[in-house]
Amino acid sequence: MGKIVVSVERLGKQYHIAKVKNKHCTLRDSLVGAVTGPFRRANKLMKGQATGASELDETIWALKDISFEVKQGEVVGFLGANGAGKSTLLKILSRITEPTIGSAEIRGRVSSLLEVGTGFHQELSGRENIYLNGAILGMRRREIDRKFDEIVAFSEVGRFIDTPIKHYSSGMALRLAFAVAAHLEPEIMIVDEVLAVGDASFQKKCIGKMGDVAKQGRTVLFVSHNMGAVTQLCSRALWLEKGQLKYDDSAINAVSSYLLSGTESCGVWDNPLVSRPGQKVQLQSANVVSMNHQPVGTVDYNTSFRIEIGYVIIEPVRHMSIVFQLIDSMGQIIFESTDHDATSLNGQVRMPGKYLSICNISSHLLRPGRYFISLRAFTEGIKMFDKHDNVLTFDISYVGYHMHQNRLGLIAPLFKWDIVQTDTQDYEKYTKSPRLYVI
């Protein structure tokens, strides 16, 4: 693993943001503007005022002065909040867009999966798109034939392989797109947070496949808000912030630094309701609250607390689950809990309206440290309605924690123990009435 396959030097990408014009401009206004425009611009030039794009636009740097190298066989993760520049960087590396300054060189055959159905022709069938993508990657038909059955089996869309892609659901298109990207043997595989569209079991399957790709000595560039996936899959991670490279280290160190930086919200999260076509459920809020319903950012080890998740159901849904994942500062998922565990909801339809699902977390469970919460709303194995990663941050304090600092384990539950001397009559009493000996 010594050959450099990705080389980025002083890379920058600038965008122009057009100022909002009058939305109620009439035809008469447009004609008048066209006639008088040249005279107004000439007048501004005589006065030394700006005209043209500099007058109408403001510019932002989506990426600025980024440099790094990736060696063959490395699996590199990219971290950062929304808008940090991760997707822009991958689009430049995929040759979808050109940099404003600097250079990005890639040596090898590249397969990119930046959004659902990337590279697919909507009018062609799944079968035809597999061969089309293979040809784009420079593969011979013989190579594609050899991989075809494996691709279809992985994607689980065999019944619809001769159906035009335009009739696929987003989940089906994602399955086939990922299967093609992973199985057609690219030397460099680029994957954005597109896996968020799939259900939980398919995400796990994809992460496993990317791990297999890495073991074969191929290079993977992976953007994800799933910190557990980054630490599990990647050997190295780059943290982008406001378009600049802030941190480049091992995946564990980068994830730990990113999560501990306080980038994510603390104790309270609000998500304004946004209407999207076809959306049935939207996660709207989350809070870490004390047992007397007060939002908190720090909870004592010996104190119980609650996770409150607010959401809006727009259309009736059956078998839906509201889920939260509890994640530690290393990006590991400590546990996942779902409101479907409330058996009274099993099989019921949740009607449109505003809801609050509340999970009670007992004291003496989590070891002191910082934790993060990710949210999901989905029907298991069918559809992901909404998801948000690392929306809450909170701390468990050492108050009430009397265990040894080096005790192993991801959690630190305080169980009740019975201690009985077996060569005395106490043992016989214990076997008949063990409750007397609980401490």
**pLDDT at res. 437:** 46
* β-pair partners for 295: 289
- Looking at the fold, whether 135 and 276 belong to one and the same domain comes out as no
**pLDDT at res. 432:** 72
Residue 197 — very low, low, confident or very high, per pLDDT cuts 50/70/90?
A: low
**pLDDT at res. 383:** 82
Examine the fold and report which residue of 260, 293, 319 is the final residue of a domain before the chain moves on.
260
Give residue 226's domain range. Answer: 60-260
Whether 113 has a pLDDT exceeding 80, the answer reads no
- Looking at the fold, whether 118 and 204 belong to one and the same domain comes out as yes
- Looking at the fold, whether 287 and 310 belong to one and the same domain comes out as yes
- The CB density around residue 86, as the number of other CB atoms within 10 Å, is 25
Identity of the highest mean pLDDT range in 15-24, 48-57, 122-131, 190-199: 122-131
In a domain, 3, yes or no: no
Pick 69 or 35 by higher pLDDT. 69
Helices marked H in 189-337? 200-215, 227-233, 251-260
- Looking at the fold, whether 232 and 304 belong to one and the same domain comes out as no
Residue 128 — very low, low, confident or very high, per pLDDT cuts 50/70/90?
A: very high
**pLDDT at res. 274:** 76
* β-pair partners for 393: 266, 372
**pLDDT at res. 289:** 92
Side chain identity at residue 151, one-letter code: I
Residue 366 maps to which CATH number? 2.70.50.60
Each residue's pLDDT tens digit, 350-408: 899 999 999 999 999 998 888 999 999 988 767 889 999 888 888 888 778 888 767 78
Residue 192 maps to which CATH number? 3.40.50.300
Mean pLDDT of the chain: 81
Q: What is the tally of structural domains in the chain?
A: 2
- Looking at the fold, whether 285 and 244 belong to one and the same domain comes out as no
**pLDDT at res. 381:** 67
CB burial string 114-136: b at 16+ within 10 A, e below: bebbbbbeeeebbbbbbbbbbee
**pLDDT at res. 6:** 92
Each residue's pLDDT tens digit, 154-181: 888 889 999 998 888 877 888 888 888 7
Whether 9 has a pLDDT exceeding 90, the answer reads yes
- Looking at the fold, whether 65 and 196 belong to one and the same domain comes out as yes
- Nearby residues of 134 by Cβ (< 8 Å), 6 or more positions away: 141, 143, 144, 147, 180, 184
Residue 54 — very low, low, confident or very high, per pLDDT cuts 50/70/90?
A: very low
Strand ordering across the sheet containing 75-79: 110-113, 188-191, 219-223, 75-79, 236-241, 244-250
- The pair of three-digit structure tokens given for residue 50, joined into one six-digit string: 């700006």
- Nearby residues of 76 by Cβ (< 8 Å), 6 or more positions away: 70, 219, 220, 221, 222, 234, 235, 236, 237, 238
User: What is d(CA 374, CA 332) in angstroms, rounded to the nearest whole number?
Assistant: 12
Examine the fold and report which residue of 260, 282, 303 is the final residue of a domain before the chain moves on.
260
In a domain, 407, yes or no: no
- Looking at the fold, whether 248 and 155 belong to one and the same domain comes out as yes
Examine the fold and report which residue of 260, 288, 313 is the final residue of a domain before the chain moves on.
260
The residue-averaged pLDDT of 192-220 equals 73
- Looking at the fold, whether 69 and 140 belong to one and the same domain comes out as yes
Using DSSP's 3-state secondary structure scheme, residue 335 falls into strand
Each residue's pLDDT tens digit, 281-331: 999 999 999 888 888 888 888 899 999 999 999 999 888 889 999 998 778
In a domain, 369, yes or no: yes
At CA 347, angle to CA 346 and CA 353, rounded to 5?
A: 90
Using alpha carbons, select from 407, 228, 417 the residue that is nearest to residue 301.
Answer: 407
Place of tokens 């089996």: 153
In a domain, 252, yes or no: yes
Whole-model pTM: value is 0.61
In a domain, 154, yes or no: yes
- Looking at the fold, whether 144 and 241 belong to one and the same domain comes out as yes
- Looking at the fold, whether 83 and 154 belong to one and the same domain comes out as yes
In a domain, 93, yes or no: yes
- Looking at the fold, whether 161 and 144 belong to one and the same domain comes out as yes
**pLDDT at res. 365:** 93
Each residue's pLDDT tens digit, 10-29: 999 998 775 555 555 666 66
User: What is d(CA 375, CA 60) in angstroms, rounded to the nearest whole number?
Assistant: 31
In a domain, 212, yes or no: yes
**pLDDT at res. 198:** 57
Tell how far CA 346 is from the center of its chain: 28
**pLDDT at res. 42:** 66
In a domain, 417, yes or no: no
**pLDDT at res. 438:** 44
Helices marked H in 65-162? 86-93, 126-136, 141-155
**pLDDT at res. 374:** 92
Among the residue ranges 13-22, 230-239, 244-253, the one predicted with the least confidence is 13-22
- Looking at the fold, whether 316 and 254 belong to one and the same domain comes out as no
The residue-averaged pLDDT of 35-63 equals 65
User: What is d(CA 404, CA 141) in angstroms, rounded to the nearest whole number?
Assistant: 62
Residue 127 — very low, low, confident or very high, per pLDDT cuts 50/70/90?
A: very high
**pLDDT at res. 31:** 66
**pLDDT at res. 58:** 75
Whether 430 has a pLDDT exceeding 90, the answer reads no
Among the residue ranges 100-104, 120-124, 282-286, the one predicted with the least confidence is 120-124
